Amino acid sequence: MTTDKITLHRGLSGVYFDRTETTFIDGKEGKLLYRGYNIHDLAGVASFEETSYLLMYGELPTQSQLDEFDGVLKANRNIPSEIIDIIKLVKNDHPMSVLRTAVSALSAFDPEAEDNSPEATLRKGIRLTSQVPTIVMAHHNIRNGRAPVAPSENLSHAANFLYMMEGDEPTAETAALMDTDFVLHADHGSNASAFTARAVASTNAHLHDAITAGIGALSGPSHGGAAENVMTMALDIGEAENAEQYVKDLLAGGDRVMGFGHRVYRA
């Protein structure tokens, strides 16, 4: 056993394991940059489609590039009927577990599943970006005793997500709010799920394997599951005037106040 002093970096805090130009986070200042663009300059201005293109390709798209990219996203929204059957089999599981299982199974239907070239991996990433909302909403309907709503061929990514909930087109305001939420959650650097996916990908496992592992990490109550706990907390609070005392009581009891965002944020 070594006698050298070992410094533990909880949650990979302060640990750098690679270089990236995709996302930069300054937790002390509360700053989030996508490819050098401040999130405050993107959210509510750039669509999720534009933001996805920026993250994937490194620059904001021209109108023709955006139209082509949007067309590819829309063309890949459908999922195989076999995936619907799998969702039906596991419908009583937690939504994150259902998503993990469905994404894993999708590799059997992707013609480029075993192709790890950068070009094929990017194409698979775009397809998964389109297919994940369809999986989520298919499960939502199936577990509520309804048939899945087929994805729209015309609506935006965010509007289509809401449309597939019950088959009703959302208002422009609701779709815009959902779009902004998607932009804000598009990337958060080397969090637990991203790190997990990177670790799996580093073994030359294919993209579906890496994303499946990332979803598993994201499902934990200390990661993506924290957002679910926020919803529970909001329901417990009930009315806005109860919030201050609720938080004070939590802190007085030594409990944590669940929140949104990356653990490195301190502002």
pLDDT tens, position by position, 109-122: 999 999 999 999 99
pLDDT of residue 6: 84
Rounded mean pLDDT, 210-232: 84
CA distance readout (Å), 106 to 87, 113, 129, 186, 214: 12, 9, 12, 21, 15
- Is 19 among the domain residues? no
Q: Which domain holds residue 204?
A: 42-218
Mark whether 197 and 249 lie in a shared domain.
Answer: no
Mark whether 145 and 74 lie in a shared domain.
Answer: yes
Mark whether 74 and 129 lie in a shared domain.
Answer: yes
pLDDT of residue 66: 98
CA distance readout (Å), 25 to 53, 180, 218: 20, 18, 19
User: Looking at the predicted structure, is the pLDDT value of residue 230 above 60?
Assistant: yes
Q: Using CA atoms in the order 80, 82, 84, 88, what is the torsion angle rounded to 10 degrees?
A: -170
- Is 25 among the domain residues? no
Within 8 A by CB and 6+ apart from 230, the residues are 258, 259, 260
Mark whether 139 and 205 lie in a shared domain.
Answer: yes
Mark whether 213 and 235 lie in a shared domain.
Answer: no
Mark whether 179 and 63 lie in a shared domain.
Answer: yes
β-sheet with 23-26: strand ranges across: 23-26, 31-34, 37-38
Mark whether 51 and 154 lie in a shared domain.
Answer: yes
Closest CA to 209 of 218, 217, 221, 197: 197
Mark whether 184 and 262 lie in a shared domain.
Answer: no
Mark whether 160 and 237 lie in a shared domain.
Answer: no
- Is 262 among the domain residues? yes
User: Looking at the predicted structure, is the pLDDT value of residue 137 above 80?
Assistant: yes
Mark whether 56 and 144 lie in a shared domain.
Answer: yes
- Is 36 among the domain residues? no
Mark whether 236 and 140 lie in a shared domain.
Answer: no
User: Looking at the predicted structure, is the pLDDT value of residue 197 above 90?
Assistant: yes
- Is 20 among the domain residues? no
* The total number of structural domains that make up the chain: 2
- Is 192 among the domain residues? yes
pLDDT of residue 265: 63
User: Looking at the predicted structure, is the pLDDT value of residue 214 above 80?
Assistant: yes
User: Looking at the predicted structure, is the pLDDT value of residue 261 above 60?
Assistant: no
60: Cα separation from own chain's centroid = 20
pLDDT of residue 1: 53
Mark whether 188 and 263 lie in a shared domain.
Answer: no
Q: How does pLDDT run across 85-105, given as a tens digit for each residue? A: 999 999 999 999 999 999 999
